């Protein structure tokens, strides 16, 4: 039975990975300081014979008793609202936290997977983004705390691979959405859905022509699992190559929320435009050729289906159901 540690395991992505690895027969140790993670995300696993929760900051002394087969490092604030509110903690978890997680994997002889991000490409000049692209990042801008933390984490991971011979994987994760997103996390999908459900105008920054590529969480977890079980040591883009403008996404959310409302007296939410934040990427789209070739993976959930599932989750949250 594989024994696996997931740092940040009570977060949006980490909690879905806990579920998947338990389904695959792993014993899962979920470590989270709950700064942005939530116990609600793993409450259904409490009491499971192959699940254990540890409340701890990964930047502190890290000790896990017994063997470990895998260490998955997902701890980090991951939305602009969070990492701009917690800049020092974000830099620490990307540097000290990654170092401690890698050190633990080395001590246990475990496989290691780093959750990196498409943010390493910054505001990209090359489009779509291939793994060979080095990025266009402003290291001293407001987004730099997250971008550079992840770039450092990648460099540290590759150093452990080359110098210590540690078996490592790096996933560059693009925009992901689905159940267990926090309603106030500042991500565009959760923002739009919650504003629409409250009947408020959807906040679009700039003119909405900036693009993103949205991957439903079940597709992403499948890609991560295949990467974990693969032999690919170089960074791999995991995301949906279908590109939308932010304004197109806003209209999709309005359509799905309005179309799925029952018993409503009317749906009047519109769109409100605000200035574009500093260093906000103009485009973002993964080239997933490497993931297709080495993992046999590509996303399957269409945006309309994924939005409907995510909207239903947020409806239940607003109604007080878990």
Q: What is the pLDDT of residues 289-317, one digit of tens each?
A: 999 999 999 999 999 999 999 999 999 99
Of all residues in the chain, what percent carry a pLDDT higher than 90?
A: 89
Pairing of strands 202-205, 271-274: parallel
- Is the predicted pLDDT of residue 66 greater than 50, yes or no? yes
Confidence band, pLDDT 50/70/90 cuts, at residue 184: confident
11-25 mean pLDDT: 98
Catalytic site includes residue 146:
yes
Tokens of 77: 């604030």
143-148 mean pLDDT: 96
Cα–chain center distance at 162: 26
- Is the predicted pLDDT of residue 262 greater than 90, yes or no? no
One CATH from 3.40.50.620, 3.40.50.720, 3.40.720.10, 3.30.200.20 for 3-176+215-240+285-300? 3.40.50.720
Q: Which of 205, 151, 193 is nearest to 316 (CA)?
A: 193
Domain boundaries, the chain: 3-176+215-240+285-300
Q: Which of 66, 70, 92 is nearest to 9 (CA)?
A: 70
Confidence band, pLDDT 50/70/90 cuts, at residue 321: low
Tokens of 274: 């605000």
Distance CA 122, CA 138 (A): 7
The stretches of the chain forming alpha helices (DSSP H) are 12-23, 80-85, 87-92, 98-108, 144-159, 188-197, 217-228, 246-260, 289-295, 303-318
Helix (H, G, I), strand (E, B) or coil at 119: helix
H or E element, residue 6: strand 3-7
65-87 mean pLDDT: 95
Identify the residue whose tokens are 């859905």. Answer: 193
- Is the predicted pLDDT of residue 266 greater than 80, yes or no? no
In this structure, the number of other CB atoms found within 10 A of the CB of residue 142 comes to 15
70, 83, 121, 146: which is the annotated catalytic residue? 146
């Amino acid at each position: 039975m594989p024994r696996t540690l997931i740092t940040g395991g009570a977060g949006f992505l980490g909690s879905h990975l806990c579920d998947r690895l338990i389904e695959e027969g792993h014993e899962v140790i979920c470590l989270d300081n709950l700064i942005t993670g939530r116990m609600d995300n793993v409450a259904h696993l409490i009491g499971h014979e192959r699940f254990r929760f540890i409340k701890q900051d990964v930047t502190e002394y890290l000790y896990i008793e017994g063997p470990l087969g895998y260490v998955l490092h997902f701890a980090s604030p991951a939305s602009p609202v969070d990492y701009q509110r917690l800049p020092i903690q974000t830099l620490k978890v990307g540097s000290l936290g990654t170092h401690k997680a890698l050190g633990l994997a080395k001590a246990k002889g475990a496989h290691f997977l780093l959750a990196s991000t498409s943010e390493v490409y910054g505001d990209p000049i090359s489009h779509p983004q291939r793994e060979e692209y080095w990025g266009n990042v402003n290291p001293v801008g407001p987004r730099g705390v997250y971008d550079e933390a992840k770039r450092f984490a990648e460099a540290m991971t590759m150093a452990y691979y080359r110098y210590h011979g540690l078996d490592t994987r790096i996933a560059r994760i693009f925009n992901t959405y689905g159940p267990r997103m926090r309603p106030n996390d500042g991500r565009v999908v959760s923002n739009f859905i919650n504003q629409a459900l409250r009947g408020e105008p959807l906040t679009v920054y700039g003119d909405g022509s900036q693009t993103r590529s949205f991957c439903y969480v079940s597709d992403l977890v499948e890609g991560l699992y295949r990467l974990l079980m693969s032999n690919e040591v170089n960074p791999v883009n995991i995301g949906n190559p279908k590109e939308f403008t932010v304004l197109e996404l806003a209209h999709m959310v309005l359509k799905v929320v309005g179309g799925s409302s029952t018993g409503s007296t009317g749906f009047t939410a519109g769109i409100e435009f605000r200035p574009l934040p500093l260093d906000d990427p103009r485009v973002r789209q993964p080239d997933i050729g490497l993931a297709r070739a080495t993992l046999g993976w590509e996303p399957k959930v269409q945006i309309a289906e994924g939005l409907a599932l995510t909207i239903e989750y947020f409806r239940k949250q607003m109604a007080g159901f878990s």
